């Protein structure tokens, strides 16, 4: 055996050893959703939630389809709001000179690395005062406040990469500053906008904590929150078959989504941005 094949074999063995547990988990995940463990037979009993509301050991949850609808609406709304706010904000941070820009940048960075969960009690009280508890607006506000700094920061990196010449050319060619932004800069940073849109969508799709905390009506939940309701302290006997079945239903769109958008992910590296 030549040294290079030996090396290859070692590397492959090493990788396989570390991947095996993960593969095993995924296999178990599928099996647990699609098998009746008492009979050892293939069954789709766990997927009954497609047709009827979920009910087991004291937990009653509404039918899943309105929840799916909620999830889609909520996620798209988050994407729209975050993109609409972070793109102009990032432009301002990247291109304009205004008072307090440096301080704001520093604050942005601090906010990005601040563990938002430590503020959750204060946030809750504020929302109660504003009577926004148990409303989508409340969840939306808290979610966006938490994620915007990161989005702005990434977007700023993309704007920093746009040469000034391009913007100047547009202004000489008859654009106002705003029109140059709209007609030339936004198309230029489109990959960046795509990236933050994907991030926002995934973030919103996976948001369960805020729903658990701020939403009390089960029919207002999104999929992630719905799933988290299945595991509570009260029901110690956990129905893994049901959880994995709903989990699978919840994960598959994301896997598909990821396959189609991973290219956009690659254009963002380490919080900064690279031109694509």
Q: Which of 165, 217, 255, 260 binds another protein (CB under 8 A)?
A: 165
Nearer to another protein, 142 or 264 (CB): 264
Residue 196: name the closest of 235, 158, 231, 170 by CA.
158
Positive/negative CA dihedral, 26, 28, 30, 32: negative
Rounded Cα–Cα distance for residues 276 and 268 (Å): 9
**Which structure tokens are listed for 166?**
């391009």
**Which structure tokens are listed for 51?**
């047709």
Is 269 one of the binding residues for another protein (CB under 8 A)? Answer: no
Q: Which of 26, 173, 238, 269 binds another protein (CB under 8 A)?
A: 173
Q: Which of 61, 108, 141, 170 binds another protein (CB under 8 A)?
A: 170
User: Is the separation of the CB atoms in 46 and 248 below 8 Å?
Assistant: no
Nearer to another protein, 169 or 256 (CB): 169
Residue 203: name the closest of 85, 97, 79 by CA.
79
User: Is the separation of the CB atoms in 74 and 204 below 8 Å?
Assistant: yes
Nearer to another protein, 115 or 174 (CB): 174
Is 237 one of the binding residues for another protein (CB under 8 A)? Answer: no
Q: What is the 8-class DSSP label of residue 35?
A: E
Is 87 one of the binding residues for another protein (CB under 8 A)? Answer: no
User: Is the separation of the CB atoms in 58 and 234 below 8 Å?
Assistant: yes
Is 171 one of the binding residues for another protein (CB under 8 A)? Answer: yes
Q: Which of 188, 208, 209, 240 binds another protein (CB under 8 A)?
A: 188
Is 168 one of the binding residues for another protein (CB under 8 A)? Answer: yes
User: Is the separation of the CB atoms in 275 and 161 below 8 Å?
Assistant: yes
Q: Which of 3, 21, 115, 174 binds another protein (CB under 8 A)?
A: 174
Nearer to another protein, 52 or 97 (CB): 97
Binding mask 194-213 for another protein (x = CB under 8 A): --------------------
Question: Residue numbers of the site for another protein (CB under 8 A)?
Answer: 163, 165-166, 168-176, 179, 184, 187-188, 190
């Amino acid at each position: 055996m030549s040294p290079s094949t030996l090396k290859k074999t070692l590397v492959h063995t090493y990788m396989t050893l570390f991947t095996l547990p993960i593969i095993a988990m995924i296999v178990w995940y599928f099996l647990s959703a699609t098998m009746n463990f008492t009979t050892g037979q293939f069954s789709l009993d766990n997927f009954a939630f497609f047709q009827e509301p979920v009910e087991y050991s004291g937990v009653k949850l509404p039918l899943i389809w309105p929840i799916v609808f909620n999830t889609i609406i909520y996620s798209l709304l988050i994407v729209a709001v975050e993109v609409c706010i972070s793109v102009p904000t990032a432009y301002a941070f990247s291109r304009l000179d205004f008072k307090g820009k440096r301080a704001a940048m520093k604050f942005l960075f601090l906010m990005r690395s601040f563990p938002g969960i430590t503020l959750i009690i204060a946030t809750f009280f504020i929302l109660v005062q504003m009577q926004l508890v148990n409303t989508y607006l409340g969840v939306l506000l808290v979610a966006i406040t938490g994620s915007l700094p990161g989005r702005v920061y990434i977007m700023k990196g993309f704007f920093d990469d746009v040469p000034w010449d391009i913007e100047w050319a547009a202004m000489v060619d008859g654009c106002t500053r705003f029109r140059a932004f709209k007609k030339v800069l936004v198309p230029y940073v489109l990959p960046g906008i795509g990236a933050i849109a994907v991030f926002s969508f995934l973030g919103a799709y996976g948001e369960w904590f805020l729903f658990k905390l701020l939403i009390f009506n089960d029919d207002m939940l999104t999929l992630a929150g719905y799933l988290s309701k299945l595991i509570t302290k009260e029901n110690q006997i956990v129905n893994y078959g049901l959880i994995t079945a709903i989990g699978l239903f919840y994960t598959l769109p994301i896997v598909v989504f990821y396959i189609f958008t991973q290219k956009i992910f690659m254009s963002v590296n380490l919080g900064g941005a690279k031109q694509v």
